[in-house]
């Protein structure tokens, strides 16, 4: 019976809609539900990473690195860094001088996986670090033992951070380049601002203090330690776990992705429906014709 087929076809559209919206609902409920769990994971992750080197740094807001790590760091430096920065860290035509750049600089570049560099280019690309946290700190210990200077690794504690204040500061200082959703964007001359979706609180604080690459530097007199913690809290709690009212954020990259979905699914769906509404006319015409 062709009517049965027609019946099924007619009910297909609402069924599809119900299915789609249920899917979106499940996704968004899952995301919102796991929000609390994830933020707690983030904060425990921070306490672990700073806990490794907590000795003697209770008073100040910086992480101190035990000198006992220097020998291990020396070996790792020769293995991973010396081909460009030379054995003494003074740099060559391949890589810049590292002496006096400070602990935060070395920790940022190594812990974000930008160093060791995989290939030369306009921007050092962020990738999973090959080194463990202790190995990274060992390299930091070795490089800082070569010469004094530069900002230390900030100790970030998000327990009392103000996410709302962080948002204000982020919008004022960071959003112009990293965009308000933190997805990063193109700059001039093939350089780009990086995505903030995989940055840890410590890395955010380090980046603010050292201004890696094209990024401006935000010293303690521009943004104090509390303000840095607020920004780190906003990025890790909100930018990395956005509350997408529509269920899916589409990467937060603006009208291109959203317009694509609207045109493909929205307009495409409407076209299918209008084909269905109009299809009887055609059949009748052909039936009358023969």
Partner 1 sequence: MDTKENGENINAVSKAGNLSAGNNSHNLANHTCEGCGRSDLAEQERRRLRALEVVAQLSVIGALLCFIGVGVTYWVGGQNQFLGGFLAAGLALLGIGVIVIGKYFMPQGPFVEQRHEISSTVQQKQLFEEALVERGGSAFKRRKFLGVLMGASATMFGITFAFPWIRSLGPLPGKTLFQTWWRPGSRVVTVHGRPVKVDDLEVGGILTVFPEGHAGSSMSQTILIRAASLPITTRKGRETWSPHGYLGFSKICTHAGCPVGLYEEQSQQLLCPCHQSIFDVLDGAVPVFGPAPRPLPQLPLGVDEEGYLRARSDFLEPVGPGFWERTTA
Q: Judge contact between 95 and 102, C-beta under 8 A.
A: no
Rounded (5°) CA angle 131-134-139: 75
Cα 123 to its chain centre, rounded Å, is 16
User: Which one of residues 71, 96, 246, 266 is an interface residue with partner 1 (CB under 8 A)?
Assistant: 246
SS3 273: helix
Dist CA 137 CA 115 (whole Å): 14
- CB-based contacts of 198, cutoff 8 Å, min separation 6: 126, 240
Q: Is 172 in the site for partner 1 (CB under 8 A)?
A: yes
Q: Is 247 in the site for partner 1 (CB under 8 A)?
A: yes
2 class by beta-carbon count within 10 Å (0-12 exposed, 13-18 middle, 19+ buried):
exposed
Q: Is 22 in the site for partner 1 (CB under 8 A)?
A: yes
Piece of 61-69, 158-166, 229-237, 273-281 that binds partner 1 (CB under 8 A)? 273-281
Closer to partner 1 by Cβ: residue 260 or 276: 276
Piece of 42-50, 85-93, 94-102, 243-251 that binds partner 1 (CB under 8 A)? 243-251
| In the complex, minimum distance from the CB of residue 181 to partner 1, in angstroms, rounded to a whole number | 14
Q: State which H helix or E strand residue 185 sits in.
A: strand 185-186
Q: Is 191 in the site for partner 1 (CB under 8 A)?
A: yes
Interface map 194-233 toward partner 1 (x if CB under 8 A): -----------------x-xxxxxxx-xx-----------
Taking residue 63's Cβ as centre, other Cβ atoms within 10 Å add up to 22
118: its two tokens: 């995989």
Q: Is 267 in the site for partner 1 (CB under 8 A)?
A: no
| In the complex, minimum distance from the CB of residue 90 to partner 1, in angstroms, rounded to a whole number | 20
DSSP output for 98-112: -TTS-HHHHHHHHHT
Closer to partner 1 by Cβ: residue 242 or 247: 247
Q: How many residues bind partner 1 (CB under 8 A)?
A: 41
Catalog residues that contact partner 1 under the rule CB under 8 A: 3, 7, 10-11, 13-14, 17-18, 20-22, 24-25, 28-29, 172, 176-177, 185, 187-189, 191, 211, 213-219, 221-222, 245-247, 273, 277, 280, 284, 287
């Amino acid at each position: 019976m062709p009517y049965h087929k027609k019946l099924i076809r007619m009910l297909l559209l609402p069924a599809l809609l119900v299915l789609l919206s249920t899917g979106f609902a499940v996704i968004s409920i899952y995301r919102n539900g796991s929000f609390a769990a994830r933020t707690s994971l983030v904060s425990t992750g921070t306490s672990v990473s700073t806990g490794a080197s907590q000795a003697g740094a209770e008073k100040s807001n910086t992480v101190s690195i035990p000198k006992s790590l220097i020998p291990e760091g020396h070996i790792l430096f020769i293995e991973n860094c010396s081909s460009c920065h030379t054995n003494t860290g003074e740099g060559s035509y391949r890589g810049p001088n590292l002496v006096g750049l400070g602990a935060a600089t070395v920790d940022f570049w190594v812990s974000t996986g930008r160093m060791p560099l995989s290939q030369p280019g306009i921007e050092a690309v962020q990738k999973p670090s090959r080194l463990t946290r202790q190995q990274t700190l060992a390299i930091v210990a070795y490089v800082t033992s070569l010469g004094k200077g530069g900002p230390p690794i900030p100790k970030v504690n998000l327990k009392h951070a103000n996410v709302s204040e962080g948002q204000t500061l982020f919008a004022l200082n960071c959003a112009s380049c990293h965009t308000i959703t933190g997805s990063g964007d193109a700059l001039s001359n093939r350089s780009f601002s990086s995505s903030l979706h995989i940055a840890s609180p410590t890395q955010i604080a380090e980046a603010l203090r050292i201004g890696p690459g094209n990024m401006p530097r935000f010293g303690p007199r521009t943004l104090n330690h509390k303000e840095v913690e607020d920004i780190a809290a906003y990025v890790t709690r909100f930018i990395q776990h956005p509350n997408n009212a529509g269920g899916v954020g589409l990467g937060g990259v603006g009208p291109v992705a959203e317009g694509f979905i609207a045109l493909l699914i929205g307009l495409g769906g409407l076209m299918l429906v209008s084909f269905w509404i109009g299809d009887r006319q055609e059949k009748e015409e052909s039936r009358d014709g023969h």
